[in-house]
Chain A
Amino acid sequence: MTTRDIVFLALVAACVTAAGFVAVPLVGAMPLPGMRSMAAAFFYGFFICIGLLKVRKRGAVFLVALFNGLVLLMMSWLMLANNLIAALLTELLVLIFFRDFRTDRAVLFGAGLYMCMSLPASLVLAGWLGGPMIARFLARPGVVGLIFLATAALSFGGAWCGLKIGRELAKAGLIRS
């Protein structure tokens, strides 16, 4: 990773953080687990996709998650841990299926998958914080499946939008295609 890559990924992390600070309070009052991840999923997918289109290197998702997580660490280390676990799982799956982020399909897969991977840890945290009622609510596979599907749809939708913009930027010569 060059200094240029690090700086760009840090800016992407800032966008992701800012989007989270705007989107999450909108659903903050709803005591449904997974809603916070769902609210921010589109923006995470979009900005991570833009980051990956410019920095098509292994570890790019991990760095965005680390920078974002270090800011969230100021609230709780659980959020950093959640981010890092999701990023490691995403990088691992991209490594298994695509080896790296050179193709657009790998970028779409990695950017869309990140938020889905962060969901299990979020649900565990919600189950712990929310007490027995939320834990019982989460024990229903249908509910968890619905939350997961909605988050995946928004996250991959955001990543697809990012890819669309990335293609226009590639035509303009701002990023490599």
Chain B
Amino acid sequence: MLGSLVPAPRSALHPLAALGLAVVFLSLGLAVRPAEVMSLYLAGMSVLILVLGYRRPWLGVLKFVFPAGAVVGLITWLVTGDRISLVLVLERFYLFGVTTSLVAAMDPGDLSRALNRVRCPRRVSLGFLITVRFIPVLKAEMDRIREAVRVRGLRLSWKRPGQAHRVLLLPLVVRLIHISDTLALSLETRAFSAPGRPTALHRPGFTWRDWVGLPAGLGLVAATVWRLLR
């Protein structure tokens, strides 16, 4: 879903490995204070994700992160007059961007399969998958409702919010209820609630990237903690 904004890498890490690394990287990044340690930490992280083949999502995320960081950083600089605060804000936004690039381009289907494999409740992984997959359907439904409004010659105005509620929101909610009923029925008839484990046709497995990326990532984290404690 985020793939339209953030291009996917050619070969990605295992979804849970990518998620785990992103969580550890961001958590430690929140705690790192001295600017020089933070710079080294960010440089190490950037090298690692580039080696792991995440150049495309990394570049995709930077397009959003740097302008936002620059706006906040410049305002901070102007108000405080302290150039260090500008660097601090940019570093934090960059940290956010690097960890996002690890997970943003992930295929939701793969994440759902990986969650199923580690015995995550099927209802949770199903709910997540429906949430992700339904967003384009929702857009199509909204387009259909707007088309119907246009065909009937109605003109929506911000001055009359009550009309928008009746013309846009009410049909949307009615469609939501109908779609959910149909989907639930479809799941039940495909034995979703039946006992036993379902057969998985595609299982995301560990590749060399995971065997290299995980120890290297954890090594970077350990080195940064050691540097902080020294």
A residues at B contact (CB < 8 Å): 1-4, 6-15, 17-18, 21, 28-29, 31, 46, 50, 54, 63, 66-68, 70-71, 73-78, 128-134, 161, 164-165, 168-169, 174-175
Contact = CB atoms under 8 A, between A and B. Distances in A.
Contacts of A21: 135
B135 A18 contact: yes
A7 B85 contact: no
Contact of B131 (A10, A29, A31): A10
A46 B173 CA distance: 11
A95 to B, nearest CB: 21
B131 A71 contact: yes
Contacts of B103: 73-75
A175 B135 contact: no
Contacts of B134: 10-11, 14
A15 B138 contact: yes
B170 A165 contact: yes
A128 B131 CA distance: 30
B80 A132 contact: yes
B170 A74 contact: no
Interface residues of B, number: 58
Nearest to A78: B26
A47 to B, nearest CB: 9
A6 B93 CA distance: 35
Nearest to A130: B72
Contacts, number: 150
B68 A28 contact: yes
B2 interface: yes
Given A17-B135, A165-B170, A169-B177, A130 B76 contact: yes
Main secondary structure of the interface of A (DSSP, over half): helix
B170 A11 contact: no
Contacts of A165: 165, 169-170, 173
A133 B128 contact: no
Which among A66, A73, A175 has the highest number of chain B CB atoms within 10 Å? Answer: A73
Interface string B45-72: 0000000000000000000000010011
B135 A14 contact: yes
Nearest to A13: B131
Contact of A134 (B72, B132, B170, B180): B72
Given A70-B131, A76-B100, A3 B72 contact: no
Given A3-B187, A77-B22, A129-B92, 6 more contacts: A17-B135, A74-B2, A75-B100, A75-B103, A133-B80, A133-B85
Closest CB pairs A-B (n = 9) = A10-B130, A14-B134, A4-B184, A133-B76, A10-B127, A8-B180, A70-B128, A67-B131, A7-B184
Nearest to A31: B72
B199 interface: no
B193 to A, nearest CB: 6
A46 B168 CA distance: 13
Interface string B97-116: 00110011010100000000
B76 A7 contact: no
A91 to B, nearest CB: 16
A161 B164 CA distance: 11
A13 B89 CA distance: 32
Contacts of A129: 72, 89, 92-93, 96
A133 B177 contact: no
B88 interface: yes
Contacts of B223: none
B79 A133 contact: yes
Given A10-B126, A77-B22, A169 B96 contact: no
